[in-house]
Structure 1
């Protein structure tokens, strides 16, 4: 089975529907026998996805910088918790430890992580599946803008083909599994 990295929000003031989506994601990852790789936090969607995975009997690997451990937001219930010296190292470790990437709704940090793996894929530095869950059209505006970049030569023509966009968690995991076989 695969190590699936989930990028998502860590905000503590989100609508319950986003927390439920994260819990569902963790549960589905566990149900399918995959390992969850997360940002190692215990708050917001990040905490909910890890809790969902553990509740479903899944293995969780959290990767978190020491500065966030110091703020007491580390997922101390993670099966494995790797502490890094900073955010850049955290991303590198998460990418190295993962076979695929699933992005849920989130803010700047989530987009930073998505764009890091997407950019490195466009440079042929990896061939790991990348799936964006556009639940309730959350990413619609961003996707419309991104789709226009190749026409203006701001992105390679095949860049959009590297990112799989779906609207549900089961579809996201189906897409990942189809590309890992």
Structure 2
């Protein structure tokens, strides 16, 4: 994995555990020689990931919609900053430029990005690893919900391993590097569905 899309929040929660963990993610990716592809913002966890990766000598590629550049939240210190027309193009660029995806804490936008990466993998638009860093138990309920979708049958057994989860970044990155692509829906016949 040479580049990972990092999905995270643009907010700075009161508890410093999240911003500190975001800094660790940026630094760790840079030390592994993995470039960060992210939302291009300078605020919150997004800014912390980018700044720490840059400080550690890493490459940071920001992808930000025009409207957010106008709101003055763009990170002008990125190695590359791509300004796109909107969110759909932004997410497509994440997929095109990355070898995988890692999600750390965030809000609605972060969930949109995570679920789209999983959905596109399931369908067959990509077969890249989709990681979820469950720092401080932030995603416990989401992991349980995902398991419920598997148990009920809304996620097929061959797609149950798309979301790769760990609470340790190094372990998660190793799991992602070892990811073996699954059979996609596009590869299946109607009888398999």
| TM-score class, shorter | over 0.9
Deviations, residues 52-105 of structure 1 (Å, cap 9, x unaligned)? 100110011000000000010001000100000011111111111100111101
- Does the 8 Å CA contact 2:12/2:19 hold for their aligned counterparts? no
Match of 1:80 in 2: 80
Give the TM-score normalised by the residue count of structure 2: 0.89
Match of 1:152 in 2: 152
1:102 aligns with 2:99: no
1:168 aligns with 2:176: no
- CA–CA distance in 1 between the matches of 2:72 and 2:62? 14
- Does the 8 Å CA contact 1:29/1:173 hold for their aligned counterparts? no
- For these two proteins, the number of residue pairs brought into alignment is 180
- CA–CA distance in 1 between the matches of 2:154 and 2:178? 29
Q: CA deviation at 1:156?
A: 1.9
Q: CA deviation at 1:13?
A: 4.0
Match of 1:93 in 2: 93
- CA–CA distance in 2 between the matches of 1:27 and 1:16? 17
5+ residue gaps, structure 2, are: 181-193
Q: For the pair shown, which has the larger CA radius of gyration, 1 or 2? A: 2
5+ residue gaps, structure 1, are: none
Match of 2:135 in 1: 135
Give the TM-score normalised by the residue count of structure 1: 0.94
**Which deviates the most, 167-176 or 43-52?**
167-176
